[in-house]
Amino acid sequence: MLYYAKMKKILLLNPPGSRKFLRDQYCSSATKADYYWPAVDLLVLSGILSEHFELEVCDAIAEAVDEKTLIEKIISSSYYALISLSSSASMDEDFALFKAIKARSKTIIVINAGFTRDNSKKYLKQHDFIDAVIIDYIKFGIVDYLREKPGPYQGLCAKANKQIIEQCDVLELNTGFSYPVPRHELFALDKYYLPQARKRPFTCCLISYGCKYGCTYCSSGSIGFKLRNIDNIILELKAIKALGISEVHFPDFTFTADQEHARKLCQAMLDADLRLSWDCLTRVDCFDIDTAILMKKAGAHTIQFGIETQNEQLLKKMAKPISNQQVRRCFLICKQLALETIGFFIIGLPGEDAQSIKKSINFACELNCDYAAFSVYVPDYGSLLRKQLEAMDPLISSIKNFDRTMYPVIDNQILSRQEIWQLRDYALKKFYLRPKYIWQQIKKLNSLEKIKAICKMGYSVIKGANSLKVSKILKESK
């Protein structure tokens, strides 16, 4: 039976798209620039499944595989199962692809997406071409399901004998989680690019799952939070190093959510003499000088912070009670340690007016991040704020496709969608076209990779910014 299971071929897929959709970790957006990274969901699944199945990986976006070519590949390869990412931004395109595949093959189709996770039974009932929905991609229930063992399954909602089997509830001890080393070599790592990455190729590694915070505008908190065992992380990092890769992107929502865990990991990286170069994401209320020093010693070069807005009252209302003083302190720590910074800001949070948004844009300029990302607010599936907005306006529940890098799907009770979009354009131009910022970037041009990164960033600003009435807004802001 084990031999038979090993002979089954599974395809891990990031589908093609009309845009460069980002679908990992239940998120939904797209990039207008060239940056793209391997989906950590698929990396984790490659580790979990590799002991039982023959695996192939296709990142159709990174590898520029079109829909027609992909379908022919799937039909001719006779895959037993297809495990695919999806997102609310790409839902229509993805579902059309899955339907076309199902019409020509008996391949089992398993979906991993935020919107299907949020209401798995609904999508399984509505769509014949979906056989199962992943609820938790670090769980091993997917193995039992694909080996045709009877359910229920951990971390998976699936169809069986015309019935829908919901995931089984398992009492979890607070002992951390582990999984077999992901098959990084199966991914087209040379096709990925991040502007902050110091070396190529690079890959991703997970140190935790989900988020322990409850920001109302974000769905990550609904996933739950678990820490990965440090020995298991180090095992994967050693395997990455053995492949000749020395650049890692840690895509965890908050690398230092548990500062003790983060410090122990950094010390373990030093003890193992890994000499990796890496970046991560975190929050300003769980980041201090001692942790930063250890991170720097362990190879960190860039820290990404979710700032969202300078409006402290609004942040408190959104259950993210960070202060501008904390933000300034963290950016000062990074500057002192020569750690580069990336700041994330949300334009158009419900209840925020133009004056407040402009203050946030000025705050980004004051902080002088090395990079800044300005996204529009979207009503994420599974977020508390979406549920609150739906209660006020039932029409919001009908909004299925959205992308935080595109034109807003809703107003914010004060500003129209057009006004929000104009402010987002203004943010991009005001931040990136400052003479001070441009000169700082020119001074960093000490390598071909850095020159490429700056050129790509500049191109993305010009390409991504919409010019509607920006000059008028610039005038009004003076």
Q: pTM of whole model > 0.95?
A: no
Residue 455 corresponds to which amino acid?
Answer: C
pLDDT tier at 101 (50, 70, 90 boundaries)?
Answer: very high
| Contact (Cβ atoms closer than 8 angstroms) between residue 207 and residue 227 | yes
Q: Take residue 194 and report the two structure tokens written for it.
A: 């991040």
Is there a domain that residue 130 lies in? Answer: yes
123 and 231 fall within a common domain: no
- Among candidate residues 122, 145, 165, the one where a domain is terminated: 165
Is there a domain that residue 16 lies in? Answer: yes
Is there a domain that residue 60 lies in? Answer: yes
- Among candidate residues 147, 165, 183, the one where a domain is terminated: 165
User: Which residue range is the domain that position 26 belongs to?
Assistant: 2-165
Residue 310, pLDDT score:
97
159 and 200 fall within a common domain: no
Is there a domain that residue 459 lies in? Answer: yes
- The sign of the dihedral angle between the CA atoms of 330, 335, 341, 343 is positive
417 and 290 fall within a common domain: yes
Average pLDDT over every residue of 173-197? 91
Is there a domain that residue 178 lies in? Answer: no
Model confidence pLDDT, tens digit, residues 319-338: 999 999 999 999 999 999 99
161 and 198 fall within a common domain: no
Output the CA–CA distances (angstroms, integers) from residue 420 to 348, 374, 417, in the order listed.
6, 11, 5
458 and 421 fall within a common domain: yes
202 and 152 fall within a common domain: no
Q: How many CA atoms lie within 13 A of 180 on its CB side?
A: 12
153 and 241 fall within a common domain: no
Residue 138, pLDDT score:
95
pLDDT tier at 35 (50, 70, 90 boundaries)?
Answer: confident
Q: Take residue 325 and report the two structure tokens written for it.
A: 């003083």
Q: What is the CATH number of the domain that holds 392?
A: 3.80.30.20
Q: What is the CATH number of the domain that holds 69?
A: 3.40.50.280
Residue 184 CA from chain centroid, whole number: 18
Residue 430 corresponds to which amino acid?
Answer: K
Q: Three-state DSSP class for 431?
A: helix
| Contact (Cβ atoms closer than 8 angstroms) between residue 458 and residue 413 | no
Average pLDDT over every residue of 41-64? 97
263 and 304 fall within a common domain: yes
Residue 6, pLDDT score:
47
Is there a domain that residue 399 lies in? Answer: yes
19 and 148 fall within a common domain: yes
Residue 394, pLDDT score:
84
Residue 219, pLDDT score:
85
Residue 457, pLDDT score:
58
161 and 233 fall within a common domain: no
Model confidence pLDDT, tens digit, residues 369-408: 999 999 999 888 888 998 999 898 888 888 777 788 888 9
Per-residue pLDDT at 50 exceeds 50: yes
Number of domains in the chain: 2
Is there a domain that residue 315 lies in? Answer: yes
Q: Take residue 413 and report the two structure tokens written for it.
A: 């009770």
146 and 201 fall within a common domain: no
361 and 462 fall within a common domain: yes
Residues 205, 206, 210: CA angle, nearest 5 degrees: 155
Instruction: Give the separation between CA 205 and CA 237, rounded to whole angstroms.
Output: 8
Greatest Cα pair distance in the chain: 72
Is there a domain that residue 176 lies in? Answer: no
